[in-house]
């Protein structure tokens, strides 16, 4: 299996690049943010709970997120592999993901981290707000909170994969196609 963690701060291009990677490598795309938004739209209990955190730009609690992710992975028994987009965002989530994959006799192949500087992220999210319809894109204070949460809670997850020799940094600035090519090269050189 090819199991990729696509990592990076909000606005780094994880969603855009995931679309291309699933197409090229035939992987299942699991975006925890997308799944939470679908639950909000469907007015499920999970959606209601997630919304209270997402609206502030805070993380949904680990237990809730991990259980949700597990049940999504288990829905795809015959997958060739997965792209985890927006997950794991804490070390507890990374540990749970390792345990889950190990119980399925597989593991994370690599973490690809899109590297984009903070000013550029703010610019991109401001532009995205014009069409995304996402409340958490619309308010600069919430955007800043998401960036801060990334720095404090999520960025340390990098070390988790570095320790396993699975971390690869990818320059996330430039044309979308150029960035895709960098990702393909990293994957094909594995």
Active site residue ranges: 14, 89, 128, 134, 146
Identify which of residues 89 and 182 has a Cβ nearer to ligand AMP in the complex.
89
Stretch that binds ligand AMP, among 71-79, 84-92, 120-128, 181-189 (CB under 6 A): 84-92
Does 25 participate in binding ligand AMP (rule CB under 6 A)?
A: no
Does 146 participate in binding ligand AMP (rule CB under 6 A)?
A: yes
Distance, in Å, from the CA atom of 130 to the CA atom of 78, rounded to the nearest integer, reads: 38
* Angle of the 32-41 helix axis to the 45-54 helix axis, nearest 10: 120
Residues 6+ apart with CB under 8 A from 94: 88, 157, 160, 161
- Which residue in 159, 187, 183, 189 sits closest to 13, CA to CA? 183
Does 172 participate in binding ligand AMP (rule CB under 6 A)?
A: no
Distance, in Å, from the CA atom of 68 to the CA atom of 61, rounded to the nearest integer, reads: 11
Does 10 participate in binding ligand AMP (rule CB under 6 A)?
A: yes
Residues 7, 33, 83, 96: which binds ligand AMP (CB under 6 A)? Answer: 33
- Which residues of the shown chain bind ligand AMP in the complex (CB under 6 A)? 10, 32-33, 36, 53-54, 57-60, 65, 86-87, 89, 93, 136, 146
């Amino acid at each position: 299996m090819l199991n990729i963690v696509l990592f990076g701060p909000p606005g780094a291009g994880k969603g855009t690049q995931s679309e291309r990677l699933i197409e090229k490598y035939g992987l299942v795309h699991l975006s925890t943010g997308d799944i939470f938004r679908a639950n909000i739209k469907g007015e499920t209990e999970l959606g209601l709970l997630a919304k209270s955190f997402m609206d502030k730009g805070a993380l949904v609690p680990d237990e809730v997120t991990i259980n949700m992710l597990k049940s999504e992975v288990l829905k795809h028994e015959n997958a060739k592999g997965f792209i985890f987009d927006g997950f794991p965002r804490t070390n507890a989530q990374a540990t749970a993901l390792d345990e889950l994959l190990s119980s399925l006799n597989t593991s994370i192949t690599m973490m690809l981290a899109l590297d984009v500087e903070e000013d550029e992220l703010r610019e991109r999210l401001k532009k995205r707000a014009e069409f995304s319809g996402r409340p958490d894109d619309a308010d600069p204070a919430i955007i800043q909170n998401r960036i801060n949460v990334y720095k404090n809670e999520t960025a340390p997850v990098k070390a988790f994969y570095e320790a396993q020799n699975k971390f690869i940094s990818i320059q996330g600035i430039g044309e979308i196609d150029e960035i895709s090519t960098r990702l393909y090269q990293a994957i094909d050189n594995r």
